[in-house]
Amino acid sequence: MATWSLATDNVLGNATTAAIGLAATAAGADALGLHPLVGVGVGAVGALSSIVTGGMAPPERVTAALARWAGAGGWMAWALAGDPWTVLGIGSLVSGSVLGASLGPWLKRRAKAPAKERSSGGIVLGSVAKENAEWQTRIVERGGQPFRGTVVEAVTKWDNRMGEDVRVCLPKAGATVDQLRHLAPGLAADANLPHGCSIEVIEPAGEGQRTVIMRVPTRVLTALDEGHPLWEEQRSILDGVPIGAHPNGDTTEGPMREESWLIVGKKGAGKTTLLWGITATVGMCRDALVWHIDLNGGGMTQPWVDVWLDGRVQRCPVDWAAPNLDEAIRMVKAAVRIAKHRKIAYRKRKKEHNTNLLPVGADLPEIVIILDEGAEAMAAAGKGQVVELAETLEQIQRIARNEAVNLVLSVLRGTGDLVPAAMSTQTGVGICMKVRQQKEIAAVFESAWELKLRPEHLTAKGAGWIGVDGDLPTRYQGWNILPDDMEQMALRIAAVRPDLDEASAQAAGEDYATRYERMRQLFTEDAEIVEDEPAPAAATTSSRATADWDLFGTGPSPAPAPAGPALGVGDDGIEDAVIVEDDILVGALRVMADLGADRATRDQLAARLTGGDEALLRSRMTAAGVCPVHSLKVDGRDARGWYRRDIEAAMSVTPA
């Protein structure tokens, strides 16, 4: 039976149906005296309806429908303009109907042709179809017989215009995803991608094993050109830790609630910047605390603790920081005690939440220990305390995951001479930044050889590969974070970060309770160097019995001291202190009391105590046992001077 779609194999029946229908329509229009342009309109309306209703159909079928409507509309317009019932008019109607009807069987034969001989989409623009065909040709030519029948279904440009996704359907009984991955370097060369652009083969979740996505960057990522988001709202450690972006613009992140991290990269690769970014993100978590270990003098930590050392915040943004080996051992041993105690102390909490994993929260935060340049801590050749630190870190990784104490370890190489094999295998998130040799990448990702990951692929500072829980590594570009950004985030973190839960603090003991006293000393006194060599010691200072003297006037007055020369009123309008000639420390405390501050700059003290002679001030302070000057901020400007605690520490020393 013939049908109006003319899609059956009965050419004669289809032609008869079409001819009778068109002739009847033309006769009706002629009887009504309609204008010939009506025929053009009919053809146009029919063509438009074919495009709308057949938009997802094969392009051959839509093209055939357009040709039929164009022929029918043209003949009808010609018929209304003259006399169609001549030999020429009837002949053209019959021949046109037969030609249109013949397209039905041809379309069926075309539909049964092999996939490689036809397009897989609907109406595809010429440039897109050409790009699909180019990728399809590259894959087949590079892969050979196993890849014959491969179909490139779509090429989708990334929103950031840095590359494209190539959606591939592999043939039945043909090549596998692993074989396509092996072709990736050769395909990058065939496409003539810029140096540093390597193709990644992704298996989309929830789809069949023959469907893969080739992630193809067409532009090289630049070094650290994307700034850190600088979170304003609190986050949760359960949500993962973002660190940058994949080449297609998707956010790169890794889990941290249960996983330890290993970050590998040579000097200058951007590891410390990455650790700063992790500090900013974890610090803003309502259910996590940051601890730092940096055995190179605390350079990773200093930008985060300056706002606390300068008295701008009450709570230190980094809950505990260790810039030397002794303090690091105190910290990691306290972490072990915390982990063991939490196993017992919070059994009821697990039961209440019906979970085997310790539930964290603002009242029970996770502890994230970030270790920078771990070569000093993990080197296999280490001796003495270094071995003790390395063994304790390994113990933390082994026993403390459930109890929410995790490590972020940064090293120059992931090889066995720096990181014990036991720690590498227990690492849940691996990151490899710029290194010197391919074997260093393979130390982090076993698939590096197979995927042909090479150091020269990472041309931008801050770039790297990340692999999560054994998955294949993917490229990413890390966010940059600048000194002003860290200061801004340090102020936010100090205001919102949680405190360590009471049970854990008790388990950590005196080492944790007194950490801030040591941190103030380690990050100020030991870190600063006096600008000039101190002058020779002056005469021995007199007794400093000032413990019962209330500098702010709320306690008993001190015993009268021998009068010394009173200096003039300073520029600040405050009457200068009367100085005991042989006790510079008492005078310094009085000046700070007059200023209503816990610090005083070198020039402030010199103006009030030594008539502006800073060399004399430094000489007398040194002789009195005060530490060298260090950097501080006064009224928002950088200066050098002393804190009140420095003076009190010198006064607490009993003179010989």
Q: What would the pLDDT profile of 520-551 be if each residue is shown by its tens digit?
A: 999 985 444 333 333 333 333 333 333 333 33
DSSP code at position 268: T
Residue 508 included in any domain: yes
Domain boundary among 55, 90, 113: 113
- Tokens, residue 237: 């450690």
Nearest CA-CA partner of 174 in 217, 257, 115: 115
């720096």: which residue's tokens? Answer: 418
Q: Which of 273-287, 291-305, 444-458, 566-580 has the lowest mean pLDDT?
A: 566-580
Please check whether residues 314 and 442 belong to one and the same domain.
Answer: yes
Q: Please, which residues bridge with residue 638 across strands?
A: 633
pLDDT bin (cut points 50, 70, 90) of residue 49 is low
pLDDT at residue 502 in the model: 95
Average pLDDT of span 395-420? 88
pLDDT bin (cut points 50, 70, 90) of residue 156 is very high
Give the 3-state secondary structure of residue 480. strand
pLDDT bin (cut points 50, 70, 90) of residue 646 is confident
Q: Please, which residues bridge with residue 432 across strands?
A: 264, 465
* Residues 327-360: tens digit of each pLDDT: 999 999 999 999 999 999 999 999 999 999 999 9
Q: What is the DSSP string of 273-309?
A: HHHHHHHHHHHTBTTEEEEEEETTTSTTTHHHHHHHH
- Tokens, residue 600: 């005083």
Please check whether residues 455 and 584 belong to one and the same domain.
Answer: no
Nearest CA-CA partner of 438 in 450, 448, 430: 448
pLDDT bin (cut points 50, 70, 90) of residue 625 is confident
Task: Indicate whether 577 pLDDT > 60.
Answer: no
pLDDT at residue 384 in the model: 63
Cα R_g (the chain), whole angstroms: 39
Residue 18 included in any domain: yes
* Residues 453-499: tens digit of each pLDDT: 888 888 888 999 999 988 889 999 999 999 999 999 999 999 999 99
Q: Which of 4-8, 51-55, 427-431 has the lowest mean pLDDT?
A: 4-8
Packed helices 644-651 and 584-595: angle between N→C axes, nearest 10 degrees: 150
């020039």: which residue's tokens? Answer: 603
Average pLDDT, the chain: 79
DSSP code at position 172: T
Residue 280 included in any domain: yes
Q: Please, which residues bridge with residue 261 across strands?
A: 408, 429
Instruction: Report the percentage of the chain scoring pLDDT > 70.
Output: 71
Domain boundary among 113, 130, 148: 113
Residue 223 included in any domain: no
Average pLDDT of span 168-176? 92
Higher pLDDT, 117 or 413: 413
- Tokens, residue 245: 């972006």
Residues in Cβ contact with 216 at an 8 Å cutoff, skipping those fewer than 6 apart: 163, 164, 165, 166, 188, 191, 193, 197, 199
Pairing of strands 241-245, 474-478: antiparallel
Please check whether residues 53 and 142 belong to one and the same domain.
Answer: no
- Tokens, residue 610: 């030594």
Pairing of strands 200-202, 463-468: unpaired
Residue 228 included in any domain: no
Please check whether residues 241 and 260 belong to one and the same domain.
Answer: yes
Report the CATH number at residue 387.
Answer: 3.40.50.300
Whether 19 and 93 have beta carbons less than 8 Å apart is answered as yes
Task: Indicate whether 402 pLDDT > 90.
Answer: yes
How far apart are alpha carbons 526 and 534 in whole angstroms? 16
Pairing of strands 463-468, 405-411: unpaired
pLDDT at residue 407 in the model: 96
pTM for this model (two decimals): 0.62
Domain boundary among 490, 525, 560: 525
Whether 113 and 26 have beta carbons less than 8 Å apart is answered as no
Please check whether residues 106 and 15 belong to one and the same domain.
Answer: yes
Task: Indicate whether 21 pLDDT > 60.
Answer: yes
Task: Indicate whether 367 pLDDT > 70.
Answer: yes
Residue range of the domain that includes 552: 532-656
Please check whether residues 349 and 436 belong to one and the same domain.
Answer: yes
Specify the DSSP element, H or E, that contains 463.
strand 463-468
Please check whether residues 521 and 542 belong to one and the same domain.
Answer: no
Please check whether residues 54 and 138 belong to one and the same domain.
Answer: no
What's the structural domain count of the chain?
4
Instruction: Report the percentage of the chain scoring pLDDT > 90.
Output: 43
* Residues 249-282: tens digit of each pLDDT: 899 999 999 999 999 999 889 999 999 999 999 9
Higher pLDDT, 35 or 640: 640
Please check whether residues 516 and 603 belong to one and the same domain.
Answer: no
Residue 373 included in any domain: yes
Measure CA of the first residue to CA of the last residue in the chain; give whole Å.
Answer: 121
Give the 3-state secondary structure of residue 173. coil
Q: Please, which residues bridge with residue 446 across strands?
A: none
Residue 4 included in any domain: no
Please check whether residues 263 and 390 belong to one and the same domain.
Answer: yes
How far apart are alpha carbons 83 and 251 in whole angstroms? 70
Please check whether residues 109 and 121 belong to one and the same domain.
Answer: no
How far apart are alpha carbons 138 and 126 in whole angstroms? 18
* Residues 210-249: tens digit of each pLDDT: 999 999 998 876 654 689 999 999 999 999 999 999 988 8
pLDDT bin (cut points 50, 70, 90) of residue 559 is very low
pLDDT bin (cut points 50, 70, 90) of residue 109 is low
pLDDT at residue 270 in the model: 92
Task: Indicate whether 428 pLDDT > 50.
Answer: yes
pLDDT at residue 70 in the model: 73
pLDDT at residue 110 in the model: 54
* Residues 438-451: tens digit of each pLDDT: 889 998 998 888 88
Average pLDDT of span 503-512? 96
Residue 55 included in any domain: yes
């007055």: which residue's tokens? Answer: 557
- Tokens, residue 124: 């595809």
Please check whether residues 423 and 519 belong to one and the same domain.
Answer: yes
pLDDT bin (cut points 50, 70, 90) of residue 568 is very low
pLDDT at residue 409 in the model: 93
Residues in Cβ contact with 356 at an 8 Å cutoff, skipping those fewer than 6 apart: 350, 402
